[in-house]
């Protein structure tokens, strides 16, 4: 087993909650507001023109990821942690603004996002980090998913799974990125420590106590959510709600059968779960 049962349970619960919160944000922004024609959030409208169309969108997206990865590796090489923090702050600020804006308007959303982004980046707090992670990926997905259809997002999921496997098992640069982000306290993803207890004041000072932490990258949450968002758009609402359950099943398989001393790419397992979920949706539709 990759982690203890308790930690695995917490991670799966947070993963699933982030998926459903993200789908809620997508639904409210791109369905309810459109149908009522009451949205004045111009920058959130799904009619934003995609850089490219169709299947090419998947390869365009992968190219952006490769460019971002290259920049991140350069930051690590030259130990430019301050750039990490600025980059992370802006990314969190943008994602949370997109997540909150459909509910409270862009101005208030920006102010709320700014508070939590600064808190997240400059204060090491499990609850703030985890709480913001629940909304960040909904903000990202609501901006990105309109660019894809079911065919192109399926190709994207396959490409991401292949890249993730290569980056973890072959080049291992994804491991380097995860460790560097964690060390700089700007990790994009879930961090579930085995203990939340802090040393009480008044006790003799000593070396910092290292606590084992379970990690799950942000992409492992964002990509299945984008996939589910496309299913909602192209297939239907209840169909999209099944995808996170099967995505979680793929992650659960990895966490249950994985070796605790090894690193694994999560997207191949989560991706398989997404496709199994889509297959189940098709079977149910044929039966009814």
SS (H, E, C) the chain: CCCCHHHHHHHHHHHHHHHHHHHHHHHHHHHHHHHHCCCCCHHHCCCCCCCCCCCHHHHHHHHHHHHHHHHHHHHHHCCCHHHHHHHHHHHHHHHHHHHHHHHHCHHHHHHHHHHHHHHHHHCCCHHHHHHHHHHHHHHHHHHHHHHCCHHHHHHHHHHHHHHHHHHHHHCCHHHHHHHHHHHCCCCCEEEEECCCCCCCCCCCCCCCCCCCEEEEECHHHHHHHHHHHHHHHHCCHHHHHHHHHHHHHHHHHHHHHCCCCCCCCCHHHHHHHHHHHHHHHHHHHHHC
**Mean pLDDT, rounded, for 107-133:** 92
Residue 184 dihedral angles phi and psi, to the nearest 5°: -80, 0
Q: What is the pLDDT of residue 208?
A: 54
200 falls in which pLDDT band (50, 70, 90)?
Answer: low
Separation of alpha carbons 43 and 99, rounded Å = 12
> For residue 286, is pLDDT > 60?
yes
pLDDT on residue 57: 82
Q: Is the pLDDT of residue 141 over 80?
A: yes
Task: Work out the pLDDT band at 35, boundaries 50, 70, 90.
Answer: low
Q: Say which range, 47-61, 181-195, 223-237, 250-264, has the weakest mean pLDDT.
A: 47-61
Q: What confidence tier does 31 reach under pLDDT thresholds 50, 70, 90? A: low
Whether the per-residue pLDDT at 129 is higher than 80: the answer is yes
Mean predicted confidence (pLDDT) in 208-221: 83
| pLDDT one-digit tens code per residue, 85-113 | 898 999 999 999 999 998 998 899 999 99
What pairs with residue 213 in β-bridges? 193
The Cα–Cα gap between 168 and 174 comes to 5
Mean pLDDT of the chain: 86
- 18-25 mean pLDDT: 96
Of the given ranges (21-35, 70-84, 96-110, 265-279), which has the lowest mean pLDDT? 21-35
What pLDDT is recorded for position 84?
A: 82
Report residue 266 as tokens. 């999560």
pLDDT of residue 211: 75
CB 222 within 8 A of CB 99: no
How many Å is the Cα radius of gyration of the chain? 19
The pLDDT of 268-282, averaged and rounded, is 97
| pLDDT value of position 80 | 81
pLDDT for 198:
60
pLDDT of residue 224: 97
Parse the chain into domains and list their residue ranges.
Answer: 5-41+51-71+139-195+211-287
* 44 or 105, which is more confident: 105
Q: SS3 for 53-80, per residue? A: CCCHHHHHHHHHHHHHHHHHHHHHHCCC
Residue 152 and residue 148: Cα distance in Å, rounded? Answer: 6
**How distant, in Å, are the alpha carbons of 131, 158, 199, 244 from that of 12?**
15, 22, 28, 11
Model confidence at 240: pLDDT above 80: yes
In this predicted structure, the answer to whether residue 44 has a pLDDT above a threshold of 50 is: no
Contact predicate 182/213, CB 8 Å: yes
Greatest C-alpha distance within the chain: 67
- pLDDT above 90 (res 243): yes
- Position with higher pLDDT, 194 vs 51: 194
């Amino acid at each position: 087993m990759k982690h203890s049962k308790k930690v695995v349970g917490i991670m799966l619960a947070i993963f699933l909650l982030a998926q459903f919160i993200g789908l809620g944000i997508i639904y409210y922004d791109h369905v309810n507001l459109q149908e009522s024609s009451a949205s004045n959030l111009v920058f959130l409208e799904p009619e934003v023109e995609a850089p490219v169309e169709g299947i090419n969108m998947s390869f365009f997206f992968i190219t952006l990821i490769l460019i971002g990865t290259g920049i991140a590796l350069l930051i690590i090489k030259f130990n430019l942690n301050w750039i990490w923090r600025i980059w992370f702050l802006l990314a969190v600020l943008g994602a949370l603004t997109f997540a909150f804006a459909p509910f409270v308007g862009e101005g208030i959303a920006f102010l709320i996002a700014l508070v939590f982004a600064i808190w997240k980046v400059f204060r090491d707090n499990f609850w703030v980090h985890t709480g913001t992670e629940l909304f960040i990926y909904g903000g990202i997905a609501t901006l990105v998913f309109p660019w894809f259809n079911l065919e192109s997002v399926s190709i994207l999921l396959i490409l991401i799974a292949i890249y993730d496997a290569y980056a973890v098992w072959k080049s291992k640069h994804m491991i380097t990125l995860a460790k560097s982000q964690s060390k700089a306290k700007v990790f994009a993803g879930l961090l579930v420590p085995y203990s939340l207890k802090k040393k009480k004041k008044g006790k003799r000072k000593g070396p910092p106590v290292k606590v084992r932490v379970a990690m799950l990258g942000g992409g492992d949450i964002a990509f299945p959510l984008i996939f589910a968002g496309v299913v909602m758009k192209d297939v239907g609402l209840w169909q999209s709600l099944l995808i996170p359950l099967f995505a979680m099943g793929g992650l659960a398989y990895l966490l249950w059968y994985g070796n605790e001393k090894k690193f694994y790419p999560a997207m191949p397992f989560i991706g398989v779960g997404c496709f199994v979920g889509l297959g189940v949706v098709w079977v149910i539709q044929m039966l009814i």
